[in-house]
Amino acid sequence: MAAFMALLSGCAATPEPPGSDITPPAQFSEADATRTPDWPKPDWWQGFGSPELDRMIARAETDSFDIQAAIARIRQADAQVKISGASLLPNVSASGQNKWSHSYVTGSVTGAGGYYDSRATSLTATASYDLDLWGKIAAGRDSAVASALFSRSDRDTVALDTLTSIATIWFTALAYQDRITVAQRNLADSEEILKAIRAREEVGTASELDVAQQAALVAGVRASIPGLRSSVVTNLNALAVLIGDTPEALKLTPRSLIGLSLPEISPGLPSELLRRRPDVMSAEAQLEAARANLRAARAALYPDVSLTGTGGWSNAAVASLFGPASALANAAASATQTIFDNGALQAQVELNAAKRNELVADYRKAVVQAFTDVENALVQYREATEQERLEAEAVSVAQRAADIARAQVLAGTSDLVTALQAQSTLFADLDTLTQVRLSRFNALVALYKALGGGWTVQSVIPPETHLFQGVL
């Protein structure tokens, strides 16, 4: 974290990070200690092997409304750094003036009146400088720098949220498409069995109740398909918003989760995590800005001291303007001290101190939440992997039972109640397997996000502050 803190102003010693008393665990309890640490890569999504996902994320990185807004906030913060830093340097202005007048003077006893011309030309330059004896201006500039760093980390946090949301929603759309495929297959199988039962009814070996029960099963499977199709469309529409497009312009045809890769990763030491989470760095930058604001509020209790100097030339004749006799100069120093303000300045100090304490708590929470996110994602992925394995076994057993029951129904030798139960079990297990597979994909995406999605503190490009470093 020291690398990030070093991006802040070098005018004062950097205090200890506010979460330094939070001891990171030696290792993540849910991590496989036998695996070599493998942190996410910046292009982590490519490991899933989905070209459509790659294209969507490439578009989102430039066209996403949320990311564009975050980039605009960076530019605002950078402009504020320049505004705040400008007060640390002298303010110089220049002015020029050329006056001409034409007037009539009435005569007197000793002379006649007449018209007279007069001219006056002057050039002056004024320089003013606020002596930052108490560090108020420097603290304001430090606050602006910290806010600019926050805006950068915040942009990366927004980008990580956006990209992981795209992956999650895309996988959800694929899973719904898989459920549609399962439902259509189940519909075809159940309709075939319904035909066989009706044929048996015609020859008197099946009852009307048998036909009605199978018909109810067929109707239920058929009724589930429109809702699944609707879910596919709504997820695709959500993707359009995330990548900065309209639903009509997004041309995607979801196929299947089956065949995509699951690029597993393994976290390193928990102590490394805080340098890989942009949200933690955002919280720290906000805290640094609050600390600087508190310094500025305390400095405002002391007098403001300013120096002003003016120099130039003034003469009625332009030809003689730059002569020694035309030169003028003056200098002044002033100090302003608030005597009585009903406690407003002191209240401002208390307000900023309370804000700093609030952000200390927020930062500490962000640190603890980072560790918690990783532990949760690890256990969710591990359990989803095990659940998928067990559910695949259940599908295999249910498929064998359904195949036997179907063959017996077609041969006219099966108990129809048993066949219906076998069908229902298989349909439910196939649908559950699809949902469990989605849970595994989403848990892996959550783990990528919890580990920072390939972000590191070195990813942050600090604002341009070199113009003001020499005066701090």
Residue whose token pair is 């089956």: 258
pLDDT score, position 2: 45
Backbone φ and ψ of 287, nearest 5°: -65, -40
| C-alpha distances out from residue 104 to 100, 109, 121, 316, Å | 14, 16, 21, 19
Q: Please tell me the predicted confidence (pLDDT) of residue 293.
A: 87
- Across 98-107, 114-123, 444-453, which has the greatest mean pLDDT? 444-453
pLDDT band at 111 (very low <50, low <70, confident <90, very high): low
Q: What is the pLDDT of residue 320?
A: 58
pLDDT at 7 > cutoff 60: no
What is the dihedral angle through the alpha carbons of 40, 42, 48, 54, rounded to the nearest 10 degrees?
170
Q: Which residue has the tokens 């399962």?
A: 182
pLDDT of the residue at 252: 83
Rounded Cα–Cα distance for residues 194 and 409 (Å): 10
Sorted by where each starts, the structural domains of the chain and their CATH numbers stand as: 2-89+136-301+346-469 (1.20.1600.10)
Mean pLDDT throughout 214-227?
A: 91
| Model pTM above 0.85 | no
Among 59-63, 141-145, 342-346, the range of highest mean pLDDT: 59-63
β-sheet bridge partners, residue 114: 105
Interval 52-71 mean pLDDT: 94
C-alpha span between 278 and 452 (Å, rounded): 7
Lowest mean pLDDT among 65-79, 146-160, 242-256: 242-256
Structure confidence at residue 11 (pLDDT)? 37
Residue 468's pLDDT is what? 46
- Return the sign of the alpha-carbon dihedral for residues 27, 29, 34, 39: negative
Burial of 323 (0-12, 13-18, 19+ CB in 10 A): exposed
Say if residues 176 and 262 touch (Cβ distance below 8 Å): no
The strand ranges marked E within 109-264 are 114-131
Quick: pLDDT tens for 223-248: 999 999 999 999 999 999 999 988 88
Secondary element (H or E) of residue 369: helix 344-411
For 461, the token pair is 């490009």
Q: Tokens in use for 469?
A: 């470093």
Rounded percentage of the chain residues whose pLDDT exceeds 70: 86
Range list of β-strands (E), 40-112: 91-105
Confidence category of residue 310, pLDDT binned at 50, 70, 90:
confident
Q: Any bridge partners for residue 266, and if so which?
A: 38
User: Using an 8 Å Cβ cutoff, are 166 and 60 in contact?
Assistant: yes
More confident residue, 236 or 114: 236
Please give the Cα distance from 208 to 261 (Å, whole number): 48
Residue 368 and residue 364: Cα distance in Å, rounded?
A: 6
Find the range with the poorest average confidence among 215-229, 323-337, 364-378, 428-442: 323-337
Quick one: pLDDT band at residue 169, thresholds 50, 70, 90?
Answer: very high
Helix, coil or strand: residue 121: strand
Task: Please state, in angstroms and rounded to a whole number, the distance separating the CA atoms of residues 205 and 412.
Answer: 8
The pLDDT value given to residue 396: 94
**Residue range 357-363: mean pLDDT, rounded:** 91
What band does 472 get if pLDDT is binned at 50, 70 and 90? very low
Of these ranges, 11-15, 160-164, 322-326, the one predicted with the greatest mean pLDDT is 160-164
Contacts of 240 (CB under 8 A, 6+ apart): 246, 247, 249, 250
At residue 319, the pLDDT reads 56
Using alpha carbons only, what angle is made at residue 311 by residues 306 and 317, rounded to the nearest 5 degrees? 155
Give the strand order in the sheet containing 304-315. Answer: 91-105, 114-131, 304-315, 327-336
% helix, strand, coil for the chain, step of 5: 60, 10, 25
Look at residue 357 and tell me whether its pLDDT is greater than 50.
yes
Spatial contact of 454 and 42, defined as CB atoms under 8 Å apart: yes
Find the Cα–Cα–Cα–Cα dihedral 432, 437, 441, 444, rounded to 10°. Answer: 100
Give residue 325's pLDDT.
Answer: 55
Checking if the pLDDT of 470 tops 90, the result is: no
